[in-house]
Structure 1
Amino acid sequence: MARNKAKFDGQVSTHLQITRNCISFLHKLILYQRFTYICSPPLVERSNSHRVSTVYWSPPTYPYIKINTDGSFAPFGAGVGGVFRKHFGQCILYFQASVCVVDALEAELTAVYWAITLPKMNHWHNLIIKGYSEVLLQMLQDRRQDSWCHAQWANKIMCMLSTLKARLAFIYREGKQPANWLARNGLYIVESLVSYTPPLSFFCWLEML
């Protein structure tokens, strides 16, 4: 009411008049029992579209080797990392390196390339390679690349995969924390690291999954 008077009649109400009108309106709501639940906390509708999933690492079946990879990209550089584990769950190889790439997708492609190159050098042919990038997996599956640098990595990867008994699969970030740790630390190392024996700090990550 006060707003309409000010807008159409040019009459400005005082703050006391506005306060009195508001109190009078609230009394009417209480008197006529409108908005019975006006003072009750709002009800939160539960949606069935969301569900909680347990994410954990599971060992491969014999004779496969499961490889978790990750690429970490930042404005000042990029790092890659990967963990190789056999059916009994023990780490048999890991790598981390600082790489020069143009975006996060190229970092993920580089990590997968390392994950295939190292097993070929060790004559390991039964591989399960798991990464977090759904874009990468879809790109390799469809054989379609948007940029020249991505196409070069993808062609190398698919060519090497054709000589191995290997498959690519998706894994949630929570299930590949060791590879993520290696990739993030790979941002800051000077020389690439490939080893069969994980350090104590990295061994703790392995035991968490």
Structure 2
Amino acid sequence: MIWKIQNGHISFWWDNWTGYGAIVTYCPDYVHSIRTRVRNFIIDNEWDLQSLGHIVTGWLLHHIASIKIGSQHKKDYLMWKLAADGVFSNKEAWNGIRTHRKKDLFVDMPVDCLCCSNAQPETIQHFFIESEPALFLWKYFGQPLGISYQVQLVRAFLHEWWQTRSKNEMHKMIIHVIPVIICWIMWINRCSCRYGDQKKFYIRRMQQEVIWYLKAAMDKAFPNFKMELPWLQLCEVVEKLKPRANITQVTWSMPTGKIKVNTDGSYNNHGNRAGIGGIARDEAGSMIFAFAIPVQGASHNMIEAMAIRYAAQWIKNNGYRQSYIESDSLMIVEMLTNRTSNNLTIKDIIEETMNIGDQMEITFKHCYREGNQTANFLAKFASSKENPSLSHNLQQMPRGAFGAYYLDKSQMPSMRIRYDKANVFVS
């Protein structure tokens, strides 16, 4: 847990507000009064580095200087470092302290199987792949899907199923769900025979149980499609299905009598690279200012919030009132318009942006990504560079953004295509 500094009422010595534990562990020779507050070392919402320099030095002083101070009118709050949103949960706490061991859910069982006419040692390999019920079920459901039965280790066998190329979303779901259902039906029948009153494996009944479970899953995912055909014919029909495309024209809208700043964020978790981009335009769609700035952040939402905050600060610095900021991040826009944030990791960014928005009467709006392509390019451009790019005219703006900029200015629409997975038709 780490404290986020706002009014600084927490203990200077004993609370973890630096991220490195209590300050007392680094300064054992000082008198550690519990009445010493963090706010005692803050002047005009800035760190009093002169007073801090008498207590801590070196890397710790440099680190404290980099800690951002929030609003002095609000209370300090705790953030849970193990959670992405900073909110404590028992699940994250347990995962943080537990000892993770390699799970071996299926172990070889030194008994004879109950599933074959000639009993064999009941191993996982035999039971789920090579037994008589397994052989029947895998062939019956696999062959119409174009998946041939080959004896392999369990992991390789399932991997081959799940890597089979699908024709559409429904076909993909069937391929992914069938192995899970077959293994589950095999297991519950095994337990019924070994520990219950069931005397043997009824293969035909198991076949119908697989179909019933599959139908229940498909009805949830695709309520408009009814599985009423025999399995072979059903597979032939499903392979021919194509989703209905919902096509919408999306056009960047010009601000009426005001300026509008479109923003976007680009975040690459694996490459640890991020960037924010945006473009400010007048009511004629002409560029006023554009930015593409490499940044560091912990999540995509944080980068999106940083892009909007930068745009709000630019609006304030240049004295534009009653302007618009538009972003394709619906989550961040809703936080700003609803004036609330459940994500503690970006709470300070949201609150700072809201304060600027109140001062400058900024309206925050959501737009589709297809109507935000210029800002999208600038953000991606920034994430691939080391230095910021600030453009005050078209000649300074990265050349790759020209195409999207002129399309927006000429009010040329882009096509937003979305497929309704639950609404399909036969080709």
TM-score for both structures, normalised by structure 1: 0.74
Q: Which amino acid aligns with 1:202?
A: A
Is 80-89 or 115-124 further displaced after alignment? 115-124
Q: Aligned partners of 1:45 and 1:203: how far apart in 2?
A: 36
2:384 paired with 1:188: yes
Contact 2:336–2:364 (8 Å) recurs in 1: no
**In structure 2, what is the equivalent of residue 206 of structure 1?**
405
Contact 2:250–2:368 (8 Å) recurs in 1: yes
Shift of 1:46: 8.5
**In structure 2, what is the equivalent of residue 145 of structure 1?**
341
Q: Aligned partners of 1:142 and 1:204: how far apart in 2?
A: 34
In structure 1, the residue corresponding to 2:333 is in which secondary structure?
helix
Larger RCO (alpha carbons 8 Å, 6+ apart):
1
Counting only pairs closer than 5 Å after superposition, residues 168-183 of structure 1 correspond to structure 2 as 168-183=364-379
Cα shift readout 1:1-34 (whole Å, capped 9, x = no counterpart)? xxxxxx99xxxxxxxxxxxxxxxxxxxxxxxxxx
**In structure 1, what is the equivalent of residue 250 of structure 2?**
55
Shift of 1:45: 9.2
Q: Aligned partners of 2:281 and 2:339: how far apart in 1?
A: 28
In structure 2, the residue corresponding to 1:101 is in which secondary structure?
coil
Q: Aligned partners of 2:243 and 2:391: how far apart in 1?
A: 49
**In structure 1, what is the equivalent of residue 354 of structure 2?**
158
TM-score for both structures, normalised by structure 2: 0.38
- In 2 relative to 1, CA 46–151 (structure 1 residues): closer, same or farther, beyond 3 Å? closer
**In structure 1, what is the equivalent of residue 331 of structure 2?**
135
Is 111-120 or 189-198 further displaced after alignment? 189-198
Counting only pairs closer than 5 Å after superposition, residues 1-209 of structure 1 correspond to structure 2 as 51-62=246-257, 64-75=258-269, 76-198=272-394, 199=397, 200-209=399-408
Shift of 1:195: 1.7
Is 67-76 or 187-196 further displaced after alignment? 187-196
Shift of 1:57: 0.8
Q: Aligned partners of 2:374 and 2:392: how far apart in 1?
A: 15
In structure 2, the residue corresponding to 1:145 is in which secondary structure?
coil
Contact 2:263–2:307 (8 Å) recurs in 1: yes
Q: Aligned partners of 2:384 and 2:242: how far apart in 1?
A: 47
- In 2 relative to 1, CA 46–61 (structure 1 residues): closer, same or farther, beyond 3 Å? same
Q: Aligned partners of 2:348 and 2:273: how far apart in 1?
A: 20
Identity over aligned pairs, percent: 25
Q: Aligned partners of 1:158 and 1:182: how far apart in 2?
A: 24
Q: Where does the alignment leave 5 or more consecutive residues of structure 2 unmatched?
A: 1-115, 118-232, 409-427
**In structure 2, what is the equivalent of residue 21 of structure 1?**
none
Cα shift readout 1:40-72 (whole Å, capped 9, x = no counterpart)? x9586996xx6421011121111x111110001
Q: Which amino acid aligns with 1:149?
A: T
Cα shift readout 1:90-138 (whole Å, capped 9, x = no counterpart)? 1111011011111000000000011111121111112111111111122
